[in-house]
Structure 1
Amino acid sequence: MMPPTAPTRRLLTAAALLGPAAAHAQAQLPHGLYWAATLHGWMAAMLALMATVVGVVTSQQPRGRSTSFLAGMMLSWVVLRATAAPSAAGLRPLLMTLLVLNGVQYLLRQMGCKRSWIDHALLIQCLVVPASLLLTGGQVGLLGMLWHSVLSLELVAAMGWALWLRHRRRQAAPDPAHGHDFRVMACLLVPTMLALLAEVLLGAFNEPLWWQASPWLSLMLPLLMLALGLREVSEVAQARADAEKRSAAVEQRMAERIAEVERSHGQLAEQRLEQVTERERKRIAADLHDDLGAKLLTIVHTSESDRISTLAREALEEMRLSVRGLTGKPVHLIDALGDWRAEVVSRLGQANILAEWKSPAEDIEHTLQARAYVQTTRILRESVSNIIKHSGATSASIASTVQDGYFILTIQDNGQGIPRELDGRLDRGHGMASMKSRAKQMHGQCLVESGPGWGTVIRLTIPL
């Protein structure tokens, strides 16, 4: 294969750099190099757009300074491509110097590696390269190729150093994120390093092959920059998504904390209200016991009328029951059953009604709240009063049991039942509505079953 002539060589050089000044010559290029020139043109447009996006997106980020070097690297390559005209041959080494300066700074500062001697050396290089080219009188020639090779090797060294730093970080702190970052950067940097080395070696030892391969090998560097730009943008997007998640989590924790404070405040207010209510209940109970109780007890012992004495005794018992409910002291269920049994059997016996009391078979360790004890006592008293006054019964049975957290009290008589005149409304007479209301206040229920001739069954169910 004959080496290219000087005009062809200049044409191929322009095709390799793919600048606008070479557009008129693309029709004379071989088919493969024509497509390389087209790809370079598209790559330049994408890099210009990517440099703008990277600069805007990462400007407010903590590491925005390091990514600004990536944007500078992209713009340097775009301008380098735009200076492919022979009259601008002296600018290309200078632009390559700026490209290397931005590339080295980006690769190292991305890893937190900042060396003052590197900064000074890169700045001095930006002065030495154009000064040395000026000494040639505008004839770039061999010196330009030499500087291009040196700058390419500097870029390769920076890429290798960046990979080595990532490898050390992965070994020092085993972290899946560090391992993933090393693998991604290795996939991006190693092919570019090989392409730059191959371009330098072919230019030094096999010039004909360099003319054919250089336009394709030089595509690896802009492809790398484009991939790095996409990676920076995706990391910014991921960081923003993570920040939004953290913000949402903080808002949720704040809402939970506020709800917790509100609950605590509500509980504290309820406790204070309960304390005030409890003190007032005790004061009222003490007044009833000391004043009204004493007067009723005096009537019981001094009245000459048996009826008045009986009514005073009943009022005294009712008052004592109310006082017990006001004090708020829980009552052991077994004690309550004993009190109820003594009262019911005594009252029914006085009315010549046979009373059968059935207590739970097992030992009972439950307690009743004071209000539940009072309400249950009143329901039981009302039921017994109905048996004595209205049923005409000769016997009655009272059974109690504890089942699934509920206390069940069943009162049954063999009387005449509730008359039909009530039209099926069992809560219209004999205090039934009052008993059901009291059961509802305890979050329970009071069921009544009755019919003429077969007595009445009252079943009270309340939660323990």
Structure 2
Amino acid sequence: MIAPTALRGLKARRLLTFYLLAVLCSPLVAQAQTQVPAWPYWAATLHGWVTAMLALMATVVSLACGQHPRERPASFLVGMMLSWVVLRAAAAPGAAGLKPLLMTLLVLCAVQYLLRRVNWQRSWLDHALLIQCLVVPASLLITGAQVDLLGVAWHVVLQLELIVAMAWSLWLRRQRLQASPDDADAREFRLTAALLVPTMLALLAEMLLAAVSESLWQMASPWLTLALPLLTLGLGLQLIGQVAHARADAERRAAATEQRMAERIAEVERVHAQLAEQKLEQVTERERKRIAADLHDDLGAKLLTIVHTSESDRISTLAREALEEMRLSVRGLTGKPVHLIDALGDWRAEVVSRLGQANILAEWKSPADDVEHTLQARSYVQTTRILRESVSNIIKHSGATHATISSAIHAGDFVLTIQDNGHGISTELDGRLDKGHGMASMKSRAKQMHGQCLVESGPGWGTVVRLTIPL
């Protein structure tokens, strides 16, 4: 196996050899063209420019495609270009016998390039072309004096081989396009046909004119012989365009892959964050349940003992209130949702009892429809404390004789309204209703539930507390 460094060195030496051969052959081309009396000066100049362009194109194709394993057929195109350069350098009358030899190499490269571009490769064809490269010079050496006649015959055979290879390449491309239609393949087929069909016609016309009339052949030869080098230039431009398109397509695919990778990474990070959050919630939930159990078993038992054993009514009452607060906190820590209808029943019993003990008439208004919603445990606890604070304010500060507590479900929100007929909040608070009577705490609790707590009051017309929380 060839090491990668040695392989790159071999490719570099090959490219340098092609380039030096092209540069060295360019002066020979100009000299050969001046020795062809049948062609006018403009034709010789035109062919010289085309040949120089072929030498430059061979260098460009070698540099553009030499490092891509998928573009190995490009080496045959480079060989085809350089074969034509040397062929034009050997176009002088004294070197007519070399023309079939160079045409043999050109045909080998052309046939291999055209057929390998369509993934059609046969070992027998490779062997036949190599054998032909040996047979042609051997036959010319054996014939001796008949070298010109045999050279013409070989020239005709090689041109026919070129025509057949072009036709077969087009037919294979057409079959592949019919089997799997594709816009890019269709454009490539049309471009290749535009290059190959005129070249085939020019080669056929050149052979026919040479057989029918030498004068006509002399007149048309400057134009017809341009078909093959122009075809080679066109194939070179087509190949470079395909390489550039493949490069752009690879960059687009790489960008798409990077985008998909970034999306996958973001998704993995999001899932990881969700799992971490779920794990945190699970740990938090277990810790809450542990604290709730400790409060219920330890502190709750001690408070219950004080309630039943204390000789002081005040101490017993305070212990009972502390026990109720502890039970409420434990209920919030357990995290179990509460049916709204059960919560409304608990709140009604507590509010009516407390207001009744304070000689305040309580009116409770429940929602008209059946309530099937539930409250989160934290929402139940916070709402209970807001309601208790509102009732405490009515008992301690309002001087009211009547209070109305109404609840309703509106647009997915639970609305609880507490209204009294007391003397309202004093103007000494400078218009800020959240400065006294625990109202700042009530609003803070409502905000924790993503809701709001509004207080409306004025001297002489009572106070209205309206709590709105999402269900």
Question: Which one-letter code corresponds to 1:326 in the other structure?
Answer: L
Q: Please say if residues 20 and 84 of structure 1, whose CA atoms lie closer than 8 Å, have aligned partners that are also in contact.
A: no
Which of 19, 37, 62 is equivalent to 2:29? 19
TM-score (norm 1): 0.89
Question: What do residues 363-418 of structure 1 show as CA deviations (whole Å, max 9, x unaligned)?
Answer: 22221110111011101110111111111122222222222322222222222221
Higher mean C-alpha deviation, range 313-322 or range 275-284: 275-284
Which of 148, 162, 183 is equivalent to 1:141? 148
CA distance in 1, matches of 2:109, 2:429: 101
Could you tell me which residue of structure 2 aligns to residue 410 of structure 1?
Answer: 417
Give the direction of change, closer, same or farther, for the CA distance of 1:41–1:457 in structure 2 (3 Å limit): farther
What secondary structure is seen at the aligned counterpart in 2 of 1:322?
Answer: helix
Question: Which one-letter code corresponds to 1:239 in the other structure?
Answer: A
What secondary structure is seen at the aligned counterpart in 1 of 2:417?
Answer: strand
What secondary structure is seen at the aligned counterpart in 1 of 2:400?
Answer: coil
Q: Please say if residues 33 and 48 of structure 2, whose CA atoms lie closer than 8 Å, have aligned partners that are also in contact.
A: no
Could you tell me which residue of structure 1 aligns to residue 175 of structure 2?
Answer: 168
Q: Aligned-pair distance for 1:213?
A: 1.1
CA distance in 1, matches of 2:165, 2:340: 86
Asked if residue 234 in structure 1 is aligned to residue 244 in structure 2, the reply is no
CA distance in 1, matches of 2:197, 2:204: 11
CA distance in 1, matches of 2:445, 2:111: 87
Could you tell me which residue of structure 2 aligns to residue 201 of structure 1?
Answer: 208
Could you tell me which residue of structure 2 aligns to residue 43 of structure 1?
Answer: 50
Q: Aligned-pair distance for 1:107?
A: 1.0
Which of 236, 261, 273 is equivalent to 1:254? 261
Question: Which one-letter code corresponds to 1:274 in the other structure?
Answer: E
Could you tell me which residue of structure 2 aligns to residue 397 of structure 1?
Answer: 404
Question: Which one-letter code corresponds to 2:65 in the other structure?
Answer: T
Asked if residue 287 in structure 1 is aligned to residue 297 in structure 2, the reply is no
Q: Aligned-pair distance for 1:222?
A: 1.7
Which of 402, 419, 431 is equivalent to 1:424? 431
Which of 313, 317, 339 is equivalent to 1:332? 339
Question: What do residues 242-271 of structure 1 show as CA deviations (whole Å, max 9, x unaligned)?
Answer: 222222222222222222222222222222
CA distance in 2, matches of 1:36, 1:414: 115
Could you tell me which residue of structure 2 aligns to residue 461 of structure 1?
Answer: 468
Give the direction of change, closer, same or farther, for the CA distance of 1:387–1:37 in structure 2 (3 Å limit): farther
CA distance in 1, matches of 2:452, 2:147: 106
Q: Aligned-pair distance for 1:139?
A: 7.3
Question: What do residues 90-126 of structure 1 show as CA deviations (whole Å, max 9, x unaligned)?
Answer: 3222111111110011111122222222222222222
What secondary structure is seen at the aligned counterpart in 2 of 1:90?
Answer: helix
Sequence identity (%): 78
Q: Aligned-pair distance for 1:325?
A: 0.3
Asked if residue 351 in structure 1 is aligned to residue 361 in structure 2, the reply is no
Could you tell me which residue of structure 1 aligns to residue 19 of structure 2?
Answer: none
Question: Which one-letter code corresponds to 2:354 in the other structure?
Answer: R
Question: Which one-letter code corresponds to 2:29 in the other structure?
Answer: G
The unaligned stretches of length 5 or more in structure 1 are 1-17
Asked if residue 77 in structure 1 is aligned to residue 87 in structure 2, the reply is no
CA distance in 2, matches of 1:402, 1:459: 13
Q: Please say if residues 96 and 151 of structure 1, whose CA atoms lie closer than 8 Å, have aligned partners that are also in contact.
A: yes
Asked if residue 434 in structure 1 is aligned to residue 441 in structure 2, the reply is yes
Question: Which one-letter code corresponds to 1:433 in the other structure?
Answer: A
What secondary structure is seen at the aligned counterpart in 2 of 1:448?
Answer: strand
Which of 297, 302, 312 is equivalent to 2:309? 302
Higher mean C-alpha deviation, range 403-412 or range 280-289: 403-412
Q: Aligned-pair distance for 1:288?
A: 1.2
Could you tell me which residue of structure 2 aligns to residue 15 of structure 1?
Answer: none
Question: Which one-letter code corresponds to 2:240 in the other structure?
Answer: V
CA distance in 2, matches of 1:23, 1:76: 16
Q: Please say if residues 21 and 84 of structure 1, whose CA atoms lie closer than 8 Å, have aligned partners that are also in contact.
A: no
CA distance in 2, matches of 1:23, 1:175: 45
Give the direction of change, closer, same or farther, for the CA distance of 1:334–1:37 in structure 2 (3 Å limit): farther
Could you tell me which residue of structure 2 aligns to residue 366 of structure 1?
Answer: 373
The unaligned stretches of length 5 or more in structure 2 are 1-27
TM-score (norm 2): 0.88
